[in-house]
C-alpha cells in the first residue's frame, strides 16, 4: 500500500502541524490543501513536512479535496486517506484503517466515531446521529457514522468516481456513490474527539442539505468521470 493523506484545512494553524507530523509516521505522503486560510495554516503545514497546495480563497471542503485529488490521483498511490486538520481525527488511529483496508480490500474504510451524548456538543451530536441514520436507511449501508471525514479510500475507485461536492457534502457523496455501485465499505471504531473549538459545520442547514443531496445522488445518473492522467 502506498498511501497519501489528503488534509483540507481552513484556518487550522494551531493544529495542522501536529496532524501532519502524526500522519507522516504512517503514510508515504501528506498533502495539505489550504482552503484560503488567513492564519498561517500553509506555513505551519510546510514546517511540519507536508506538501501544500494553497487555494487563494475559501472555496469549501469539497472543492479543496477535489483540487488535491486532481494531482494525487495522477501518481502511483494505492489509497487516499482523508482526514481533517483540527485533531478531531487522531493520527494514532491511522494504522487501524490501514490494517482493515489490507485485510478486507474494501473500497473504503470509515473511522466511525462513538457518539456519547454528554461528551459532545448537542448540536453536533444530533446532526451526526440524524444525518447518519437518514443516509444509512436510504442507502441500506451498515454504518452508524456516515458523516465521518476520517476515511481511507482505494485510489483505483476514486479514479473512476465523479466527485462533485463543494462543501461538507463530500462524505455523503462518497457513501452514496459507492453504495450505488455495490462497493464494499468497511469500518473501524474510534473515540469522538471534541474540544471547545467552534465548529465550521452548521448543523441544521448542513444536515438538511446532506440528506437532500443524498436523495439526488441516489437516484440521479452519475456524470461521466474524466480519467486522471
pLDDT tens column, 42-69: 999 999 999 999 999 999 999 999 999 9
State the chain's mean pLDDT as an integer: 85
pLDDT tens column, 4-46: 999 999 999 999 999 999 999 999 999 999 999 999 999 999 9
d(CA 212, CA 84): 24
d(CA 5, CA 115): 25
CATH number of 3-219, picked from 3.90.550.10, 3.10.20.30, 2.160.10.10, 3.40.50.850: 3.90.550.10
Dihedral angle sign, alpha carbons of residues 168, 171, 20, 126: positive
CA distances from 182 to 49, 157, 178 (A): 37, 12, 6
Average pLDDT value for residue range 194-212: 60
Phi, psi of 57 (to 5 degrees): -140, 160
Structural domain spans, the chain: 3-219
Quote the pLDDT of residue 200.
59
d(CA 66, CA 225): 13
Quote the pLDDT of residue 227.
45
Set of cell numbers at residue 213: 443531496
d(CA 151, CA 82): 5
Amino acid at each position: 500500500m502506498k498511501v497519501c493523506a489528503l488534509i483540507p484545512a481552513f484556518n487550522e494553524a494551531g493544529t495542522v502541524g501536529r496532524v501532519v507530523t502524526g500522519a507522516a509516521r504512517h503514510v508515504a505522503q501528506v498533502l495539505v490543501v489550504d482552503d484560503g486560510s488567513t492564519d498561517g495554516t500553509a506555513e505551519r503545514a510546510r514546517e511540519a513536512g507536508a506538501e501544500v497546495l494553497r487555494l487563494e480563497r475559501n472555496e469549501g471542503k469539497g472543492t479543496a479535496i477535489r483540487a488535491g485529488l486532481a494531482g494525487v490521483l495522477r501518481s502511483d498511490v494505492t489509497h487516499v486517506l482523508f482526514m481533517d486538520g483540527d485533531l478531531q481525527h487522531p493520527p494514532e488511529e491511522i494504522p487501524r484503517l490501514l490494517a482493515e483496508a489490507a485485510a478486507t480490500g474494501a473500497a473504503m474504510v470509515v473511522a466511525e466515531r462513538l457518539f456519547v451524548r454528554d461528551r459532545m456538543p448537542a448540536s453536533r451530536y444530533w446532526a451526526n446521529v440524524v444525518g447518519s441514520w437518514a443516509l444509512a436507511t436510504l442507502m441500506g449501508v451498515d454504518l452508524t457514522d456516515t458523516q465521518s471525514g476520517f476515511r481511507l479510500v482505494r485510489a483505483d475507485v476514486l479514479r473512476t468516481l465523479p466527485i462533485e461536492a463543494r462543501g461538507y457534502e463530500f462524505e455523503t457523496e462518497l457513501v452514496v456513490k459507492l453504495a450505488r455501485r455495490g462497493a464494499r465499505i468497511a469500518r473501524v471504531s474510534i473515540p469522538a474527539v471534541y474540544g471547545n473549538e467552534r465548529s465550521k459545520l452548521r448543523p441544521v442547514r448542513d444536515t438538511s442539505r446532506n440528506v437532500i443531496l443524498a436523495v439526488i445522488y441516489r437516484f440521479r445518473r452519475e456524470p461521466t468521470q474524466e480519467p486522471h492522467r
